[in-house]
Amino acid sequence: MRTDERVHQVRLLREQGYTPKEVARSLGIGSAEAARLVRAAATLARADASEAPLVSCWISPTWSINLAVGDHPDWPLSAETTSGAEGLASILVARRHRYDKVSVCGYLVDVYCLGVKNVLGPKIMDELELRGVRRRYFSAYQSDPLEAPIELAREVVFGAVAYARSLGFEPHPDFAATQAHLGPWSGPSTITFGNQGKPFYISGPNDNPQSIIQTLERTAGSGNYNYLVGVG
């Protein structure tokens, strides 16, 4: 099989939600070769997605709690001061795909510390399925998601990635395959990340809290960050 055919095959698998490990298993190839093909497929997807018309963009209703966001009258801001989901922003972006379909990517962003923690897609679906995906994607929030300009999504995602990198943290490894859905971004972000400008690590179920705190101690310095680690 020619390389370009394999890249196309990998791209289709990635659009169906296959992880790089699952791609390798499905095609019967080694992990290194699968990683190379996944990178090539992501490059191809970015080239296509950057030209695809935007269908919709949504952001979780409490994304802006304790952030300084600057003067953006068209940005929907949270009217709440507490939610139980402070420090996390969920973003869903849908772009037009061929055959009356949409291509969808989602981003779970820790805006206080770690940047992009998880991603969804790219997934190809019809608009009826998109409604269900949107409902499930934002189901953890008490209020409905907010329609947002794509510029806001770029500022939150790319800005949080830059902020996290300044603290020593890289985005989720699948972020490269989804970032094209946001379009180009030159930066820097006008958002001041962190909890009122200060790194604040809130542990999640899949984190290594000790390692993260050690990194913050090295990059931010003692007394220059806060953390909240769950027990049990």
Average pLDDT over residues 91-104: 91
The answer to whether position 90 is within a domain reads yes
Q: Give the model's pLDDT for residue 38.
A: 79
Q: Give the model's pLDDT for residue 28.
A: 84
- Find the helix packing angle between 31-49 and 20-27, rounded to 10°: 110
pTM: 0.78
Reported confidence tier of residue 82, pLDDT bands at 50, 70, 90: low
Buried b (16+ CB within 10 A) or exposed e, 91-116: bbbbbebeeebbbbbbbbbbbbbbbb
The answer to whether position 198 is within a domain reads no
Q: Which domain holds residue 170?
A: 54-182
Instruction: Please tell me the total count of domains within the chain.
Output: 2
Q: What is the mean pLDDT of the chain?
A: 87
Q: Give the model's pLDDT for residue 4.
A: 61
The answer to whether position 205 is within a domain reads no
Name which residue leads in pLDDT, 113 or 187: 113
Q: What digits encode the pLDDT tens for the residues 143-196?
A: 899 999 999 999 999 999 999 999 999 999 999 889 888 988 887 899 999 999
Q: 172 and 65 in one domain?
A: yes
Q: What digits encode the pLDDT tens for the residues 117-153?
A: 999 989 999 989 999 999 999 998 888 999 999 999 9
Q: 29 and 66 in one domain?
A: no
